């Protein structure tokens, strides 16, 4: 079993004829993902890598029965693309696009919450169930099939930690990059619930960063509701207050959201927190032996 996607997932690519969309479509196809359709308004009837292109997500879904859509369109059009995917009835929407306006996301988030659909992102690398399917931009070659779930606010750190895990012989069930924007569709708590319920995930690695309170809320859930071991890492230990570090949501303000605060919250939930990413495999092995 895997979380959210597997070898049967049928994927639509919104923005498939663009530079990023076409490049990453090829990567997903090469990995074995079932990319069944692409969408670019005005280019319906074309083909990209033998994938048929439609003018709308509704047309693509009706023709293919797709249950997932991944979005590679530019930021000014990304919110409309997410609304279109939501209106089509696909179950999983993955938005890779960076720079989506926060005000627009607030309204969209409310509609997503009131629907049966799930949004991953925006400003995220997507997700991968190694050996089964990948949706997004994660490099498939560094992943290894296994039983460790991984969730991260940082795309780059996802790749680094996965590489450490794989080199240590530790495979992954599903890796999910939730994105680092202030408003995202799926957060740590959501993914921890999924991993806790997955019979083929034995433990979880959670990669957080400064800003916001998602890690603290996750710590409370871990303490009260999780039986599976969790190992953490918090990026941005040296970030000065008031300065954004990388992601739009990675900013310490009003004395809250510091790496120390998040680390202490996780440690209070019996979550070992790595100081550097290379420590994670060792901490994970120890946690799973308890």
**Calpha distance 208→283 (Å, rounded):** 16
Mean pLDDT across the chain, nearest whole number? 93
- Whether pLDDT at 242 is above 90: no
- β-pairing, 133-136 with 126-129? antiparallel
> For residue range 136-187, what is the model confidence (pLDDT) as tens digits?
999 999 999 999 999 999 999 999 999 999 999 999 999 999 999 999 999 9
Domain boundary residue, one of 120, 155, 186: 120
Q: What does the pLDDT read at residue 246?
A: 55
Residue 96 lies in a domain: yes
Binding residues: 17-20, 43, 96-98, 159
**One-character DSSP codes across 152-182:** ES-HHHHHHHHHHHHHTT--EEEEEE--SSS
- Choose the catalytic residue: 24, 143, 164, 247: 247
> For residue range 176-205, what is the model confidence (pLDDT) as tens digits?
999 999 999 999 999 999 999 999 999 999
For position 95, which CATH number holds? 3.40.50.720
Binding residues for CoA: 17-20, 43, 96-98
Binding residues for substrate: 159
Residues 164 and 234 reside in one and the same domain: yes
Q: What does the pLDDT read at residue 254?
A: 47
Query: What is the pTM assigned to this prediction?
Result: 0.93
Tell me whether residue 24 is one of the annotated catalytic residues: no
Residues 79 and 195 reside in one and the same domain: no
Q: Provide the residue range defining the domain that includes 49.
A: 10-120
């Amino acid at each position: 079993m895997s979380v959210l996607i597997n070898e049967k997932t049928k994927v639509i690519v919104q923005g498939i004829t663009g530079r990023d969309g076409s490049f990453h479509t090829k990567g997903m196809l090469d990995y074995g993902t079932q990319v069944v359709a692409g969408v670019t308004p005005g280019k319906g009837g074309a083909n990209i890598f033998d994938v048929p292109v439609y003018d709308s997500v509704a047309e693509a879904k009706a023709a293919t029965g797709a249950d997932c859509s991944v979005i590679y369109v530019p930021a000014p059009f990304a919110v409309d693309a997410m609304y279109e995917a939501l209106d089509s009835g696909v179950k999983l929407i993955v938005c890779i696009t960076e720079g989506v306006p926060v005000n627009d996301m607030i309204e969209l988030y409310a509609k997503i919450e009131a629907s049966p659909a799930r949004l991953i992102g925006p400003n995220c690398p997507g997700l991968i169930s190694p050996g089964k399917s990948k949706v997004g931009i994660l490099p498939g070659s560094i992943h290894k099939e296994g039983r460790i779930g991984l969730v991260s606010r940082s795309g780059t750190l996802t790749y680094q930690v996965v590489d450490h895990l794989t080199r240590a012989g530790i495979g992954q069930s599903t890796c999910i990059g939730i994105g680092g924007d202030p408003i995202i569709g799926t957060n740590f708590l959501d993914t921890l619930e999924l991993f806790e319920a997955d019979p083929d995930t034995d433990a979880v690695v959670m990669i957080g960063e400064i800003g916001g309170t998602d890690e603290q809320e996750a710590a409370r859930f871990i303490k009260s509701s999780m039986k599976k071991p969790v190992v953490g890492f918090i990026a941005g230990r040296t970030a000065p207050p008031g300065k954004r570090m990388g992601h739009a949501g990675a900013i310490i303000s009003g004395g809250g959201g510091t790496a120390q605060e998040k680390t202490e919250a996780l440690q209070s939930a019996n979550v070992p927190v790595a100081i550097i990413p290379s420590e994670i495999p060792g901490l994970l092995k120890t946690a799973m032996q308890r």
